[in-house]
Homo-oligomer: A and B are copies of this chain.
C-alpha cells in the first residue's frame, strides 16, 4: 500500500501518518520526491488494511499496490534515486557515470595500491576489491578478510576513491559496513534473504548483483528485501546470466538495464568483467553498457593479471582500463552522462605526499 501526501504536506503531517501506520502494526517507508512525499507501507505478511489513513491531514490518496515489489517501484518514488558520497561530487544514479574499478581480490597492500593509483588517475571514482571471496572450491584463496578491508580503507584515504566490497555473511557484513562505502551482495547470495535483510539494517548503501539465473522480478525483489528493512540506498548490478552460450563465461544481459529503469527508481550498473569473463570483451561491452543507459560500470583491473589469485583472465591491464575510460567518456557524452572526477585534493595530495 502507498500513501501519497499532498505537495504541501508538512513534515509533521508526514510524521503523523508514519506513526499511525506503526500503530496499525505496519512499517512506514517515507520516500521524499521532487514534488511530494509518498509513504510505502509494508506489513509482516500479506494484505495491509487501509483504515482511516485516507482521512488524515496532508494525505492526498491511498493506493493499493498489487505488484510484488513495492519500495523499489516507481509507483512509490517516481524520480531516480541518486546516491551521494561525502567529500566527492561523484554520485550513483545521477548525471555522473559511476566508474568502479579494481582487482577481483585484494591480494596485498602493494598490489592494491598499484591498481588503485592507476584507476584513480584514469578517472574511476570507486574502488572495488574482494576481501571476502566466495569461491567454488574451499581449497582456493578466500580473501584477506579484515586485513583486506584495512588496505581498502587506506586506499580511500590516499586516493579519495570510495570503497565497494563484498560481504558474504553476517560477520563480514558488519565489518564491511564499518570499513567500506558500499556493501556488495554477490550474485551467489542474491537470494540469501537472511543476508539481504541484514544489509537492510546496515547504514551504508548496498549493491545487489543479479543472480546467475535471476529473473527481473527476483532481481527487484532482492532489492526490496534490503529496502523493506529501511535501507533505501540500493544499487542493482547486472553481471551476466548463465545460458548455453560458451563464447563468454556468462551472457551479459544489457536489456535488463532499460527494463529495471522502467520499473524502478534505483540505479543499475553493469559488470562487463564477470559478464563476459574475457579481457578482450570488456571494453566493447563497457561501451555498450554505457550506450544502453547504465548508471555505471564495475570493471576488474589488475596490475599483473597473469599472476592474479582469482579471475585474472577477465582483468584488464591498467593501460587497457585507461583506453576503456577514453572510449567510455565519449559514449557517456552522447547519452547525457559525464564522468565526474573525485575531489582534486583527494587525488593530487597523496600524489604529492608520495
**Which residues of A line the B interface, CB within 8 A?**
42-46, 68, 70, 134-142, 168-170, 172, 188-189, 191-195, 197, 211-213, 215-218, 221, 224-225, 228, 241-248, 251-259, 262, 275-276, 280-281, 284-285, 287-293, 327, 330-331, 334-335
Q: How far is the CA of A173 from the CA of B292 in the complex (A)?
A: 36
> Which of A228, A255, A276 has the most B CB atoms < 10 Å from its CB?
A255
Cβ B221 vs Cβ A137 within 8 A: yes
Flag if B241 contacts A245 (CB, 8 Å): yes
Number of copies of this chain that the complex holds: 4
Known: A45-B140, A169-B194, A217-B136. A248 touches B243 (CB 8 A): no
- Chain B residue, CB-CB nearest to A70: B139
Residues of B within 8 A of A334 (CB): 287, 327, 330-331, 334
Known: A212-B212, A288-B288. 16 other contacts (CB 8 A): A45-B139, A45-B142, A46-B140, A134-B191, A138-B197, A168-B193, A169-B195, A188-B191, A211-B212, A215-B244, A241-B243, A247-B255, A254-B254, A258-B284, A262-B280, A334-B334
A290 CA / B290 CA spacing, docked (Å): 12
Given contacts A136-B218, A197-B138, A258-B280, contact A244 B244 (CB under 8 A): yes
Q: Is the CB of B331 within 8 A of A291?
A: yes
Contacting pair B216 A213 (CB below 8 A): no
Given contacts A284-B292, A288-B288, A291-B288, contact A256 B247 (CB under 8 A): yes
In the bound complex, CA of A246 to CA of B245 (Å) = 11
18 contacts between A and B (CB under 8 A): A42-B138, A45-B139, A138-B193, A138-B221, A169-B192, A169-B194, A189-B192, A213-B242, A215-B246, A216-B247, A241-B251, A243-B244, A251-B251, A255-B276, A255-B285, A259-B281, A284-B293, A291-B292
- A216, closest chain B residue (CB): B247
Chain B contacts for A141, CB-based, 8 A:
45-46
A247 and B225 contacting across the interface, CB-CB below 8 Å: no
Q: Which of A139, A194, A215, A246 has the most CB of B within 10 A?
A: A139
| A136 in contact with B251 (CB, 8 Å) | no
Given the contacts A244-B242, A245-B216, A228 and B139 also touching, CB distance less than 8 Å? yes
Closest B residue to A193 by CB, please name it.
Answer: B134
A212 to B68, CA, bound (A): 21
Give the distance to chain B from A151, nearest Cβ to Cβ, in Å. 19
Judge whether A247 and B193 touch: CB under 8 Å.
no
Contact assessment for A168 and B191 in the assembled complex, using a CB-CB cutoff below 8 Å: no
Bound: A116/B70 CA distance, A: 37
Nearest chain B CB to A130 CB, angstrom units? 13
A242 to B221: give the CA distance in the assembly, Å.
Answer: 18
Residue in B closest to A229 when the chains form the complex, CB atoms = B138
